[in-house]
Homo-oligomer: A and B are copies of this chain.
Amino acid sequence: MKKVINDPNKVVQEMLEGFLYAHGNVYKKTPNENGIYIENEKKQVAVITGGGSGHEPLFFGFVGEGLATGAAVGNVFAAPTPNTIMEVTKAVDAGKGVLYVYGNYSGDTLNFDMASELAEFEDIHTATVLVNDDIASASKEEAHNRRGIAGDVFVIKVAGAAAAEGLPLEKVTEITQKAANSTRSIGVALSPGSIPSTGRYTFEIAEDEIEFGLGIHGEAGIRTEKIMEADKLTQIMMEYIFDDIEITEGDEVCILVNGLGSTTLMELFIVNRKVTEILLEKGVKIHHTDVNNYCTTQEMAGFSITLMKVDEELKTYYDKPAYSPYYFKRG
């Protein structure tokens, strides 16, 4: 695997240096750990996201106005340490409390929970919303065990908007939890991504096969199939979502077609074409559509489809302005 890197063990540090050279006028790094944040100037509830690196622009690319206030950045595919989370927490707390919003992975919950305990010692009140949008990662009955994938984007967006409105922690948490509860994703992988420090691909897949539900760290999926036409693939994926959450005539949704790394925007648009047609045929109203590479897995090929079912309240927060170098909304 060819990579444009220096020391494979320094990729995260050097990545953040490169990011800060580009955007250091707005973004800060915590002194000792890999935490990225913006000043909480309006003294709002702070929203902190985070997770392993390797998914760029997530997570630190979703720190910004109307988005997360800070991000705890772990090593590649490894949850950030409690110290990192704690440093960001201290940097952004304005006495209004901190909401942790991140994908539901064992490593992340362990580290964020530990940070949250440390925060309470310092009288910083924290709350947590776990993103568990990946319907392929556990059955409906076990939905609380599901992983978080591209749905992070919608949930962080809503959390950041609610916080920017100046709402109290309980209310921000409640709205964010509603966004999480309303979000479903399913992904498909075509080819693997690699970890820089081992130079190895995280899984194997036959030259003519694709895998449904494969995780954004290469966790194996639920079903392997021969490569098929985009429309058929999209149809199958949408059916998984419809089996999981009722989306019927008159309902409204936001769509995110998210590329995993090396799948082109061209392909993502072709997928979005079918996603939209399926929804319109059902009489579902599309509130907003985003087609981009937000939650990647290094150079993995594949994509995910995310739907967030929205009501008036979620739409209000979804539509608020947001601004980071990798995500923006004019409101």
Contact indicator B230/A6 (Cβ below 8 Å): yes
**Which residues of chain B are near A231, meaning CB under 8 Å?**
6
Contact indicator A2/B208 (Cβ below 8 Å): yes
CB-CB contacts below 8 Å: A181-220 with B:
190-191, 196, 207-208, 210
Chain B CB within 10 A, most for which of A191, A262, A289: A262
**Which residues of chain B are near A17, meaning CB under 8 Å?**
269, 273
Count of chain copies: 2
| Complex alpha-carbon distance, A61 and B269, angstroms | 12
Is residue A54 contacting chain B, with contact meaning CB distance below 8 A?
Answer: yes
A266's partner among B11, B229, B267, B274 (CB-CB below 8 A) is: B11
**Which residues of chain B are near A330, meaning CB under 8 Å?**
323
Q: In chain B, what residue has the closest Cβ to A265?
A: B56
A77 → chain B closest CB, angstroms:
12
**Chain A interface residue count, Cβ-Cβ cutoff 8 angstroms:** 64
Given contacts A272-B21, A276-B18, A323-B330, contact A267 B57 (CB under 8 A): no
**Which residues of chain B are near A11, meaning CB under 8 Å?**
266, 270
Is residue A291 contacting chain B, with contact meaning CB distance below 8 A?
Answer: yes
Q: Mark A241-272, 1 if CB is under 8 A from B, else 0.
A: 00000000000000100000111111111111
| Complex alpha-carbon distance, A289 and B27, angstroms | 14
Q: In chain B, what residue has the closest Cβ to A289?
A: B22
| Complex alpha-carbon distance, A269 and B34, angstroms | 15
Q: Report the stretch among A86-94, A106-114, A136-144, A295-303 that lies at the interface.
A: A295-303
**Which residues of chain B are near A301, meaning CB under 8 Å?**
2, 262, 299
**Which residues of chain B are near A269, meaning CB under 8 Å?**
14-19, 22, 56
Contact indicator B229/A5 (Cβ below 8 Å): yes
| Complex alpha-carbon distance, A208 and B2, angstroms | 7
